Amino acid sequence: MKQKIVLAFSGGLDTTYCAIYLNKIKNYEVHAITVNTGGFDDAEVAIIKKHAENLGVASYKCVDVTKKYYDSCIKYLIFGNVLKNATYPLSVSAERMIQAITVADYVKEIGAIAVAHGSTGAGNDQVRFDMVFQTMIPQAEIITPIRDLKLSREAEINFLKEHNVTMNFEKAAYSINKGLWGTSVGGKETLNSKDYLPETAWPTQVTKTAKKEICLTFDKGELIGIYDEIFKNKVTAIQTLQAMAQPYGIGRDIHVGDTIIGIKGRVGFEAAAPIIIIKAHHLLEKHTLTKNQLYWKDQLSTWYGNWLHEGQLLDPTMRNIESFLTDTQKNVTGKVFVTLLPYRFLVTGIESENDLMNNKFGSYGEMNNSWTGEDVKGFAKIFGNQNTIYNLTHNDKQ
């Protein structure tokens, strides 16, 4: 009797190889699972399902975790205004965590003795998947044929042809990974330090050029409305903004950063909604939070984003920081006004009952209503007193 193995299955070349190899060569009962984080529509899922069944898997399942992805991860990336290296909204690294957790849950659900993924030995995903599996299902063996056998693309194709597998073996010029929080784009240009992706490489082409002014409504740090429409589902709000802004070519960039395995890497991405939401949210925070709240949010959010990127979402420290971030959002409610333009956008202002830029306390650079000139003289004298003492003490030594 064959033993059960769960295969994280996307339907691409690597996971197609895994499905055949695990079944025909290793004699496992293969249960394939696709974890949808907002990147597949129903038609695409149907194609993946048919492909998996044609490969002879024992079962196929697609789990839509888009809402869970938002609730357990994206929400905190917004609260923290997380952009790795001030650029990248962690589009892929965030969704890999949720996918790995969902696969591990499925291993437990069906009682499989092993789990497999199609990661190579050259990237971040192998570490992310392995760490989640080691934490959640330590009893399950982790099998990674592409990595362990050091397979080339040509070797995979030849193996599949020998087993009468028919699929499109032509390598796309660009690898695309789409999810709710952005789409990554990899190609020959991202393999060096100089070249930029050509216009044709971007999944969404620029079709809108007329200036468009929009209003985003936030409630306790979460985007809930666009114009006068309030969304019950926060995922729908993100998807609506994405459909509205991406045709302007907004949110395109190339991220350069440090991989978990210690090498530098480049990846292109388009993420109109994530970039706009983070920038709009940040402006609203600058109006509604105090100086020290903003400072400590920056420190903890940077650490949170880096640790998430390196596959450590299950670290209990992340729950501690999420609690802090959630608490800071109590007064981050209001409207943010944004102007969409080709290849760029402007965050022009906010309206909020919690706006700390309140004229009744004074207008910056013009007048104050809460203190006198003598108050300021005394404050400045005390505030700078230690510097005065230091300079007077050491003046002769300098």
CATH number for the domain including 182?
A: 3.90.1260.10
CB 89 within 8 A of CB 275: yes
Does any domain span residue 282? yes
Confidence of residue 362 (pLDDT cuts 50, 70, 90): low
CB 154 within 8 A of CB 171: no
Residue where a domain terminates, one of 162, 192, 221: 162
- Report which of 80, 66, 126, 124 is spatially closest to residue 318, judged by C-alpha positions: 80
- Report which of 94, 30, 32 is spatially closest to residue 65, judged by C-alpha positions: 94
From residue 12, give the alpha-carbon distance in Å to each of 161, 172, 183, 201, 209.
Answer: 15, 11, 17, 19, 35
From residue 345, give the alpha-carbon distance in Å to each of 19, 86, 240, 248, 282.
Answer: 44, 17, 16, 9, 15
Q: Which domain holds residue 134?
A: 3-162
Q: How far apart are CA 225 and CA 231, in angstroms?
A: 6
Residues 278 and 378 in one domain: no
The region of weakest confidence among 17-26, 98-107, 388-397 is 388-397
When divided into structural domains, the chain yields a total of: 3
Q: What is the pLDDT of residue 189?
A: 96
Residues 252 and 280 in one domain: yes
Q: How far apart are CA 296 and CA 148, in angstroms?
A: 43
| Whether the predicted pLDDT of 360 surpasses 70 | no
| Whether the predicted pLDDT of 392 surpasses 90 | no
Does any domain span residue 96? yes
Confidence of residue 229 (pLDDT cuts 50, 70, 90): very high
Residues 225 and 156 in one domain: no
Confidence of residue 393 (pLDDT cuts 50, 70, 90): confident
Does any domain span residue 317? no
Q: What is the pLDDT of residue 397?
A: 65
CB 324 within 8 A of CB 367: no
The token duo for 41 is: 């529509």
Q: How far apart are CA 339 and CA 344, in angstroms?
A: 9
Give all strands of the β-sheet with 3-8 in edge-to-edge order: 59-64, 28-36, 3-8, 114-116, 141-143
Q: Is 275 left (phi over 0), alpha (psi -120 to 50) or beta?
A: alpha
Cβ atoms < 10 Å from Cβ of 164: 7
Residues 97 and 153 in one domain: yes
Q: How far apart are CA 227 and CA 214, in angstroms?
A: 6
Residues 182 and 283 in one domain: yes
| Whether the predicted pLDDT of 195 surpasses 60 | yes
| Whether the predicted pLDDT of 364 surpasses 70 | no
| Whether the predicted pLDDT of 176 surpasses 70 | yes
| Whether the predicted pLDDT of 213 surpasses 90 | yes
| Whether the predicted pLDDT of 41 surpasses 80 | yes
What CATH number has the domain bearing residue 51?
3.40.50.620
Does any domain span residue 285? yes
Residues 150 and 236 in one domain: no
Neighbour-count burial of 67, counting CB atoms closer than 10 A to its CB (0-12 exposed, 13-18 middle, 19+ buried): middle
* DSSP at 198: -
Confidence of residue 371 (pLDDT cuts 50, 70, 90): confident
Does any domain span residue 139? yes
Residues 276 and 346 in one domain: yes
Residues 152 and 204 in one domain: no
| Whether the predicted pLDDT of 11 surpasses 90 | yes
Residues 345 and 385 in one domain: no
The span from the first CA to the last CA of the chain, in angstroms, equals: 85
Residues 227 and 280 in one domain: yes
Does any domain span residue 19? yes
Does any domain span residue 294? no
* pTM higher than 0.75: yes
Does any domain span residue 46? yes
> Phi first, then psi: what are they for 70, rounded to 5°?
-65, -50
Q: How far apart are CA 379 and CA 387, in angstroms?
A: 14
The residue-averaged pLDDT of 191-215 equals 96
Confidence of residue 370 (pLDDT cuts 50, 70, 90): confident
Residues 282 and 375 in one domain: no
Q: How far apart are CA 52 and CA 43, in angstroms?
A: 14
The token duo for 327 is: 């608490």
Q: What is the pLDDT of residue 95?
A: 94
Confidence of residue 367 (pLDDT cuts 50, 70, 90): low
| Whether the predicted pLDDT of 398 surpasses 70 | no
Residues 101 and 188 in one domain: no
Q: What is the pLDDT of residue 365?
A: 59
CB 267 within 8 A of CB 190: yes
The residue-averaged pLDDT of 271-291 equals 98
pLDDT tens digits along 153-170: 999 999 999 999 999 988
